[in-house]
Amino acid sequence: MDSKPQQLHIFFFPLMAPGHMIPTIDMARLFAFHGVKATIITTHLNAPLFSKTIERDRQLGSEINIRAVKFPSAEAGLPEDCENLNSITSHEMSLNFYKALSLLRQPLEQLLEECRPDCLVADMMFPWATEVAGRFGIPRLVFHGTSFFALCVVDGLMRHQPYKNIASDSEAFVVPGLPDQIKMTMLHLPNYVREGSKNELSNLIDQSLQAELTSYGIIMNSFYELEPAYSEHYRKVMGRKAWNIGPFSLCNRDTEDKSQRGNKPSFDEHECLSWLDSKKPNSVLYICFGSVSCFSAAQLLEIAMGLEASGQQFIWVVRNADKENDDEKGEWLPEGFEKRMDGRGWIIRGWAPQVLILDHKAIGGFVTHCGWNSTLEGLTAGVPMVTWPLFADQFYNGKLVTDVLRVGVEVGAQEWSRWIDNKKVSVKRENIEKAVTQLMAGEEAEEMRNRARALKEMARRATEEGGSSYSDLNALIDELRSYRP
C-alpha cells in the first residue's frame, strides 16, 4: 500500500515592512492551501497585523501559524516601538533599522533548531539566511518581492554601468543586454549609485545579491505570461533558478480577505463601495502611493489641483500628509476643494482596502508609485496606470508598465528620492492633469484598458489548476520533498 508523503514544513521570514510582509503572508497561505505546513516568522508588534487572517485560514483547515521573535530595537538605537519600516522617519533611522535586521540571525537560528523545518523562504534583505539554512542542511529560497524585469534591469546596470558614460544626470542612456530597449537616466537610480558611495543599505544589497547566487533559488511574485522575455533572461542569461508562482494576491478570493489584508482598522467600506456602485464602469480614478511613501504639503496641493482640473471622478488615498503642515482640517487642500468635489471625489485619510477598490467595475485607472505589489494588483484587476515612481525598484517597474506592457502613462517623476523635502514639488499640476486625462479618456486610453484586461485574464488562468503559476508551485513543492533526506 502506498504511504502518504510526509508533510513538508516551510519557514517564511519576511522583512518587517508592509510591501514585503503582505506578499509573504499571501505566499505562505498559498503554500498552506497546497498542503504544506507553513510557519511565519516575525516580531511581536508585527504579528497582530495579520493574525486574524491566519486564524481564519486555520479554522478553514490550513496548517499555518505565526512564531514571534524579539526585535532588537534598543540594541540598534531605535525606539522600542519601532519594528516596521513604515515607522522610520529619517535616513539615520533607516540605517539603524538595517543594522537591527542583522541581529535577528540568532533568534532565527534558535527557531530553526527547535522546529527543524524542511525549507527557509527568507526575504532578500536577510543575506545571512542562506548561510543559516546551510547550517541546518535545508534549502534557502530568496523572496525579492519585485518583478523579473526590475531584477534584469539592475543586473544590466551593475554589469555594464552605462551611466558612467553620460554628460549629465538627466541624459538618457540605454540599459544594455535586455530584450527591449529600456532608457533611463542617472536621476532614476538610487542615491548610493549616483553618489558612488557605500552605506548600510548599499552594503546590505551587495550582500543580498551575493547570497542569492549561493541560495537554492528564487521565488517570484509574478506569472510567466506577464514578462516571459525577462523570466527567460533571468534564468538563461543571468543563470538563476526561479519559480513563477504569483500573483499571490489572487489567493484573496472573498471580500473579507480583500478588505482585511493586514488587519487594518477599516473606514466605512460599505459607504465607499456604495458610492462606487453609483458610478459608471471605468469612470473613477484611484490614487494611492503605498504604505511608506510620503509627500510634502506642497506636492499634495499640486495633486489636488491637477485632479480638479482633469474633471475626472476619483478616490484619493492620502496616507500621511507632511505632519508639520497638516492637521485634521487638511490645510494642504485648496480652499473649498472638498466642497467642490462633493459627489465627484472621495478622499481617504489612512488605509484603504486597495484590492477591493481596484476590483470594482467603476475603477478605470490607477495613479501609483509602482511598488511591485500595487503594480501587480493593478494588473490583475485589469486597470491601466499613471506611473509616479519615487524610490526602491519603482522606476524599473514603471518602465515595465509603460514601455513593455504599454498599459500606462508616465506622470513625469524624474528623480529617485526616499525622503521628502517639505517644500518640494516634483510633479506639477499641469503634468498630473495631462497624464490623468490621457489615461481616462480617448482612444489611447481604451487601447491601454484592453491590454490591461487581457493581462487580468492571463493572471487568473495562471493561478488556476493547470496554469503556469499553479504548475510551477506544485513543481517546487515536489522538488523540496525530494530534497528532504
* pLDDT tens column, 349-377: 888 999 999 999 999 999 999 999 999 99
198 against 469, higher pLDDT: 469
Question: DSSP string of 136-148?
Answer: TT--EEEE--S-H
Record the pTM.
0.94
Rounded to whole angstroms, how far apart are CA atoms 275 and 273?
5
Query: Which among 291, 310, 300, 288 is positioned nearest to 388, based on CA atoms?
Result: 288
Residue 255's pLDDT band (boundaries 50, 70, 90)? low
Rounded to whole angstroms, how far apart are CA atoms 408 and 430?
18
Rounded to whole angstroms, how far apart are CA atoms 78 and 48?
20
Rounded to whole angstroms, how far apart are CA atoms 315 and 165?
43
322 against 102, higher pLDDT: 102
Q: What angle do CA 39, 44, 45 make, to 5 degrees?
A: 120
> Is residue 253 classed as helix, strand or coil in its secondary structure?
coil
For 181-209, the pLDDT digits (tens) are 999 999 999 888 887 777 777 888 889 88
Candidate from 161-165, 319-323, 346-350 with smallest mean pLDDT: 319-323
For 83-104, the pLDDT digits (tens) are 999 898 888 899 899 999 999 9
pLDDT, position 196: 75
Q: Calculate mean pLDDT across residues 463-482.
A: 97
Beta-strand pair 140-143/217-220 = parallel
With cell 484592453, the residue in question is 450
Residue 177's pLDDT band (boundaries 50, 70, 90)? very high
Rounded to whole angstroms, how far apart are CA atoms 448 and 385?
9
54 close to 64: Cβ distance less than 8 angstroms: yes
pLDDT, position 268: 67
For 413-440, the pLDDT digits (tens) are 999 998 777 678 899 999 999 999 999 9
321 against 232, higher pLDDT: 232
pLDDT, position 1: 44
Rounded to whole angstroms, how far apart are CA atoms 54 and 71?
21
323-327: Cβ within 8 A, 24+ apart: 324/422, 325/296, 325/297, 325/422, 326/297
Please determine, looking at this structure, whether the domain spanning 9-250+466-483 carries the CATH number 3.40.50.2000: yes
67 close to 41: Cβ distance less than 8 angstroms: yes
Radius of gyration of the chain (CA): 22
pLDDT, position 424: 81
Element (H, E) at 255: helix 255-259
> 96: which 3 cell numbers?
539603524
Alpha helices, DSSP H, located in 311-389: 337-340, 354-358, 372-380
36 close to 3: Cβ distance less than 8 angstroms: no
Q: Calculate mean pLDDT across residues 109-114.
A: 98
Question: Strand (E) positions, 302-460?
Answer: 313-318, 345-349, 363-368, 385-387, 408-410
Hey, where are the domains in the chain? 9-250+466-483, 267-460
Residue 339's pLDDT band (boundaries 50, 70, 90)? very high
Rounded to whole angstroms, how far apart are CA atoms 309 and 327?
25
pLDDT, position 198: 76
Rounded to whole angstroms, how far apart are CA atoms 7 and 133?
19
173 close to 183: Cβ distance less than 8 angstroms: yes
Q: Do domains 9-250+466-483 and 267-460 have the same CATH topology?
A: yes
Rounded to whole angstroms, how far apart are CA atoms 106 and 99?
14
Element (H, E) at 418: none
pLDDT, position 363: 98
Query: Which among 234, 82, 27 is positioned nearest to 150, based on CA atoms?
Result: 234
pLDDT, position 294: 83
pLDDT, position 257: 61
Q: Which CATH class is domain 267-460?
A: alpha beta
330 against 150, higher pLDDT: 150
Q: Calculate mean pLDDT across residues 45-67.
A: 96
Number of H helices, E strands in the chain: 19, 15
With 0-12 / 13-18 / 19 or more C-beta atoms within 10 angstroms meaning exposed / middle / buried, residue 281 is exposed
The answer, yes or no, to whether residue 326 has pLDDT greater than 50, is no
The answer, yes or no, to whether residue 454 has pLDDT greater than 60, is yes
Backbone angles phi, psi at 222, to 5 degrees: -155, 180
Catalytic residues: 20, 123
> Is residue 300 classed as helix, strand or coil in its secondary structure?
helix
Residue 485's pLDDT band (boundaries 50, 70, 90)? low
Rounded to whole angstroms, how far apart are CA atoms 156 and 189?
13
377 close to 358: Cβ distance less than 8 angstroms: yes
Q: Calculate mean pLDDT across residues 332-356.
A: 92
The answer, yes or no, to whether residue 325 has pLDDT greater than 50, is no
pLDDT, position 291: 84
Element (H, E) at 236: none
